[in-house]
């Protein structure tokens, strides 16, 4: 893979902006909330079609956000830093623990194209046939379908909120014509919303999607700028394996130097170089066991 030397950042001026009547609206009626969530999702759909947006990186970062929300739902204290540590410092044979399992499920679900097989791998406690049955429960418009799947999954497996949300997200993505799950609902709904039914649940999902989609668009725009800068400085890197390393940064929320395709010392030097160039950030604030990301 090679990176052009053109000014990537200038291309970002053409990225569509969310209308202010969506971001600042205060909708209260079901009709207004549904209209605004549809407008926000449509804007995101257009945004995701732009090649400047690092979609795999965005999905991975939104998966982290979804996992963090699920930790809050369950009353656990793990947040961004703890979730990253739970996954990125796993050794062969280690058990990830509840936090790591949740984050891994979201990462796996968002990484691969939506299919029963990929969802079954992300949610190994459920049989493919059960997943198919739940997904088939959704009918109607995209958000209505997602809410119906969420409702039936929570009802039949009340202690599996993570799985129910992942299946609802997959339903929403498929209904919107997306190949990959884009975590949105989990970060927007409240814990109490998961026990609502029918119109109340649909209303809660629409409201959740307004706020979460606006935040996803903000993150997408920010990551597009950061990715453009990383691509712009990539030709300055001379280390063997630097091209593959840059590609990893462009597709993952966080990267440990130990997984880069370079010797350990060279990997740490490359990360330090990228930090100096303003292309990546050190994410932990520690002197050891560091993680880096765009």
Q: To the nearest whole percent, how much of the chain has pLDDT over 90? A: 88
Give yes or no for a contact between 40 and 263, defined as CB atoms under 8 angstroms apart: no
pLDDT digits (tens, 9 = 90+) for 227-250: 999 999 999 998 889 999 999 999
| Plot region of 258 (φ>0 → left; ψ -120 to 50 → alpha; else → beta) | alpha
Q: What is the mean pLDDT of residues 197-222?
A: 96
Q: What is the mean pLDDT of residues 159-174?
A: 97
Q: Name the average pLDDT for the chain.
A: 93
Q: What is the pLDDT of residue 163?
A: 98
Give yes or no for a contact between 227 and 246, defined as CB atoms under 8 angstroms apart: no
Distance CA(158)–CA(21), nearest Å, equals 37
pLDDT digits (tens, 9 = 90+) for 63-121: 999 999 999 999 999 999 999 999 999 988 899 999 999 999 999 999 999 999 999 99
Per-residue buried b or exposed e for 62-84, using 16+ beta carbons within 10 Å of the residue's own CB: bbbbbbbbbbebeeeebebebbb
Least confident segment among 28-32, 65-69, 106-110, 198-202: 28-32
Least confident segment among 89-98, 204-213, 258-267: 89-98
**Per-residue pLDDT at 19 exceeds 50:** yes
**Per-residue pLDDT at 7 exceeds 60:** no
Q: What is the mean pLDDT of residues 36-48?
A: 95
Q: What stretch of H or E contains 42?
A: helix 30-48
What would the two tokens of residue 200 be?
């109340």
- For the chain, what percentages of helix, strand and coil (3-state, to nearest 5) are there? 65, 0, 35
């Amino acid at each position: 893979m090679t990176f052009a030397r053109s000014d990537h950042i200038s291309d970002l001026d053409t990225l569509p902006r969310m209308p202010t009547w969506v971001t600042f609206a205060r909708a209260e009626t079901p009709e207004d909330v549904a209209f605004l969530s549809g407008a926000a999702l449509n804007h995101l759909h257009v945004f995701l079609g732009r090649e400047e947006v690092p979609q795999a990186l965005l999905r991975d970062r939104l998966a982290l956000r979804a996992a963090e929300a699920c930790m809050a739902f369950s009353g656990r204290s793990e947040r961004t830093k703890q979730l990253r540590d739970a996954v990125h410092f796993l050794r062969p044979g280690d058990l990830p623990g509840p936090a790591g399992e949740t984050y891994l499920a979201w990462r796996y679900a968002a990484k691969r194209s939506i299919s029963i097989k990929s969802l079954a791998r992300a949610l190994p406690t459920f049989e493919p046939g059960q997943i198919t049955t739940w997904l088939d429960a959704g009918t109607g418009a995209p958000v209505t379908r997602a809410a119906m799947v969420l409702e039936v999954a929570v009802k039949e497996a009340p202690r599996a909120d993570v799985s129910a949300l992942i299946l609802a997200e997959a339903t929403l993505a498929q209904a919107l014509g997306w190949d990959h799950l884009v975590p949105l609902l989990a970060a927007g709904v409240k814990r109490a919303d998961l026990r609502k039914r029918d119109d109340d649940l649909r209303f809660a999902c629409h409201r959740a999607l307004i706020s979460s989609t606006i935040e996803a668009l903000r993150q997408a725009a920010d990551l597009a700028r950061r990715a453009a800068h990383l691509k712009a400085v990539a030709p300055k890197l001379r280390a063997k394996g630097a091209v593959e390393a840059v590609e990893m940064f462009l597709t993952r929320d966080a990267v440990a130097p130990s997984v880069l395709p370079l010797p350990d010392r060279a990997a740490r030097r490359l990360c330090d170089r990228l930090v100096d160039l303003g292309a990546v950030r050190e994410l932990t604030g520690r002197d050891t066991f560091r993680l880096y990301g765009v």
